[in-house]
Structure 1
Amino acid sequence: MTQGPVRLDVSVGYALPRAGLPAAVSFRKWVAAALDGRIREADLAIRLVDAKEGRALNRHYRGKDAPTNVLSFPADIAEGVKLPKGVKMPLLGDLVLCAPVIAREAREQGKPLAAHYAHLTVHGVLHLLGWDHGDDREAECMEQLERDILAGLGIEDPYRER
């Protein structure tokens, strides 16, 4: 499915101690896999946060007073906005990953922590591309795409019952 070289700029920020968290290079690999064959140029930011910040963001943006594993913020460039000549804006958006929630879920689901981070990164990137799981059909399509991308990375089906 590869279309040739992809220009990808992934900025990874850690808002908590990095011990035990995946390295930025891992996040870049997972993002590249999710984008492969789907988009040729993208800039996005990933921020890893603690439960307090994850809860505040989820409450503010989704009205849910609890931290969640991943939040996706697509970069919607407003219709009719004119950028200066020669300026390209391949901004895809931002992902926020809540480290304590992800660690807890990985433990509870019996999954390797890195595999769970890979899954949630791919899941979040697909949201940035417009994929959703609002109904059963959409969920099935998105989950199958996630399975395919993760299999290409050598990661087991994240939806398989353990």
Structure 2
Amino acid sequence: MAQIEVLTEDTRWTDAGLPALAEVACTAALVELSLDADYEISLLACSDARVAELNTEFRGKPTPTNVLSWPTEERGAAIPGMIPQLPDGAPHELELGDIAIAFETCVREAEEAEKPFNDHVTHLLVHGTLHLLGFDHINDPDAALMEGLETRILAKLGIEDPYST
């Protein structure tokens, strides 16, 4: 089960029910990977302006994006397309890291894709959680692994494949 601490800077996220969406999404990602300890995730619910600041500071990209993540530990797989070194539930591994999510970008992307807002946000929270666990999409094998996991997790939550055209 995920223990999620939500810091709400943009109150539109409260109205959108982000804490409940986060609990479902992040927990589903952990369950899919058989991670059953009380892992901790910090979630910053903010605006595009705040995410643009963070994206500039940490990635050198002065634009907003939908979701950013900062894992507590680098866990990436040594071989592209392989499962990263997942935490084993030891006390020093319970804190997975931080996620920031931008309200306006999420709304815009959901509208453009003609998808329900809650489904899109759930997908992004699953995506961010997988990043905290060492998954990435930098190369084709890693992207295929991560997208496949996301699709399976979302299907179990009754959400359509976000990568289908």
- Secondary structure of the residue that 1:155 maps to in structure 2? coil
Give the alignment of 1:98-137 within 5 angstroms. Answer: 98-137=102-141
Q: Report the alpha carbon displacement of residue 48 of structure 1 after superposing the two structures with TM.
A: 1.0
Give the alignment of 1:3-152 within 5 angstroms. Answer: 6=1, 8-18=2-12, 20-36=15-31, 37-41=33-37, 42-76=39-73, 88-89=91-92, 90-152=94-156
Distance, in Å, in 1 between the alignment partners of 2:28 and 2:119 is 14
Distance, in Å, in 1 between the alignment partners of 2:91 and 2:145 is 31
What do the CA deviations read for 1:55-79 (whole angstroms, capped 9, x no partner)?
A: 00000000001011000100129xx
More helix by share: 2
Aligned twin of 1:82: none
Q: Report the alpha carbon displacement of residue 20 of structure 1 after superposing the two structures with TM.
A: 4.3
Aligned twin of 2:87: none
The structure whose Rg is larger is 1
Instruction: Please identify, of 38-47 and 90-99, the stretch whose mean Cα deviation from structure 2 is larger.
Output: 38-47
Q: Report the alpha carbon displacement of residue 40 of structure 1 after superposing the two structures with TM.
A: 2.4
**Taking every aligned residue pair, what percent have the same amino acid on both sides?**
38
Distance, in Å, in 1 between the alignment partners of 2:6 and 2:138 is 28
Moved >3 Å (runs of 4+): none
TM-score between the two structures when normalised by the length of structure 2: 0.83
Unaligned runs of 5+ in 2: 75-89
Aligned twin of 1:3: none
Distance, in Å, in 1 between the alignment partners of 2:15 and 2:114 is 17
Q: CA RMSD in A?
A: 1.6
Q: Report the alpha carbon displacement of residue 88 of structure 1 after superposing the two structures with TM.
A: 2.7
Unaligned runs of 5+ in 1: 1-5, 78-86
Distance, in Å, in 1 between the alignment partners of 2:34 and 2:136 is 16
Q: Report the alpha carbon displacement of residue 32 of structure 1 after superposing the two structures with TM.
A: 0.5
Higher relative contact order (CA 8 A, sep 6+): 2
Q: Report the alpha carbon displacement of residue 51 of structure 1 after superposing the two structures with TM.
A: 1.4
TM-score between the two structures when normalised by the length of structure 1: 0.85
Aligned twin of 2:77: none
